[in-house]
Amino acid sequence: MPRRDRSWAEQRLTEVLRVRGMSRQTERAYRGWVARYLSFHQGRELRALNTEDIERYLTMLAVETGVAAATQNQALSAILFFHRHVLEQAGRPALEQVVRARATKRLPTVLSVGEVRRLLRALPPGVQMIARLMYGTGLRLNEALRLRVKDVDLEQRLIFVRRGKRGQDRSTLLPKTLVPLLERKLDAVKQRHEKDLARDAGWVELPHVLARKAPRLARSYAWQWLFPAGRIYFHEETQQHRRHHVHPTTVQRAITQAAREVGLTKKATAHTLRHSFATHLLQDNVDLRTIQRLLGHRDIRTTQVYTHVVLDLQGGITSPLDRLDLDE
């Protein structure tokens, strides 16, 4: 594949992803998969790539690298996006016939209320606030970390998620117990931001379109991250001194360490808090449609997995062994 063609394709992919408002995380993932896909087919003309080439690459992923079905499907989504919107092959019926890998269905790991309490208490203060918010609202980790000051409505006790999974917006409840904590957090963010402004910093990253139309918002208090990182970095492209939000690995490592310290035998991750949020709401008889909306699930079947967890936890069925009275 000529270098010029590949360079054009990767640049065009970035442009299309940004025009469609894809998140930076999705952009990085798609660009990575397309780069690997093009390297695998190095020497082929761009326009000559077809469904057979896609299937050969997916077969290589499955056989030689042994990646999970979910990883194969993410790669396929990126490659199909590339064929449809960069190579402009959306009208080819064969693209719709590429078979996705069948992912194994797993029940989510759920902590009991007592286990969540022990885990949260063991976390360092900065991470504990983030973890409390995830368990109290059902947010994904990246959704929590990408919250801006303007996304918190203390009076109406709402959290607004902007451009969540699949680029969708939604709102979710804000627990009463977090209101005073978030009031203090917002005050701390404001004070830090004022200090940053005084040292010719105070910039944050904005969504692509907004960065072009209203770049000054990047220094406004309303657009600052709710959970800003501890250090400032220099963004060469804009010549700005910016502050990013807390990195996801900081939270993930703290949760893993805390789970180990309190002796949890279950695998506890940041996403486990989201699973526990949904399951505990079901146990409190909150209807499934409400939980679907709070979680931001597109399909009710995704939310229904928690009904199986609740059934296992609450029982309601008597085992034949319990009727035998073997200990008498």
SS3 assignment for 94-119: HHHHCCCCCCCCCCCCCCCHHHHHHH
pLDDT at 89: 82
> Tens digit of pLDDT for each residue in 49-74?
888 888 888 888 888 777 788 888 88
Are the C-beta atoms of 9 and 38 separated by less than 8 Å? yes
pLDDT at 176: 93
CA distance 219 to 199: 12
| 316 pLDDT tier (thresholds 50, 70, 90) | low
Count CB atoms within 10 A of the CB of residue 95.
Answer: 16
Can you tell me which residue has the tokens 């939270």? 251
> Tens digit of pLDDT for each residue in 259-292?
999 999 999 999 999 999 999 998 888 888 998 8
Smallest Cα–Cα separation from 295: which of 202, 188, 197, 161?
Answer: 161
Smallest Cα–Cα separation from 53: which of 35, 69, 71, 37?
Answer: 37
pLDDT at 166: 67
pLDDT, mean of residues 116-140: 94
Can you tell me which residue has the tokens 């078979």? 99
Sheet-wide strand order for 158-161 = 152-153, 158-161, 170-173
pLDDT at 314: 59
CA distance 261 to 121: 11
The conformation of residue 214, written as its DSSP 8-state character, comes to: -
Tell me the HSE value of 6 on the side-chain side, using a 13 A CA sphere. Answer: 15
| 231 pLDDT tier (thresholds 50, 70, 90) | very high
pLDDT at 2 over 70: no
> Tens digit of pLDDT for each residue in 19-33?
887 777 888 899 999
Q: Which residues contact 16 (CB under 8 A, 6 or more apart)?
A: 85, 86
pLDDT at 91: 65
| 253 pLDDT tier (thresholds 50, 70, 90) | very high
Taking the model in full, what pTM does it have?
0.77
pLDDT at 138: 93
Query: Cα–Cα distances in Å, from 226 out to 165, 186, 188?
Result: 19, 7, 10
- Written as six digits, the tokens of 31 are 């660009």
Beta bridge partners of 243: 232
Give catalytic residues, as residue numbers. 140, 165, 271, 274, 297, 306
pLDDT at 71: 85
pLDDT at 107: 79
Are the C-beta atoms of 149 and 5 separated by less than 8 Å? no
Query: Cα–Cα distances in Å, from 154 out to 5, 58, 176, 201?
Result: 51, 47, 9, 27
Question: What is the overall mean pLDDT for the chain?
Answer: 87
> Tens digit of pLDDT for each residue in 164-180?
776 678 889 899 999 99
| 103 pLDDT tier (thresholds 50, 70, 90) | low
pLDDT at 246 over 70: yes
93-102, 220-229, 290-299: range with lowest mean pLDDT: 93-102
- Could you give all domains of the chain from N- to C-terminal order, each with its CATH number? 3-97 (1.10.150.130), 113-310 (1.10.443.10)
CA distance 11 to 27: 12
Smallest Cα–Cα separation from 95: which of 106, 105, 87, 104?
Answer: 87
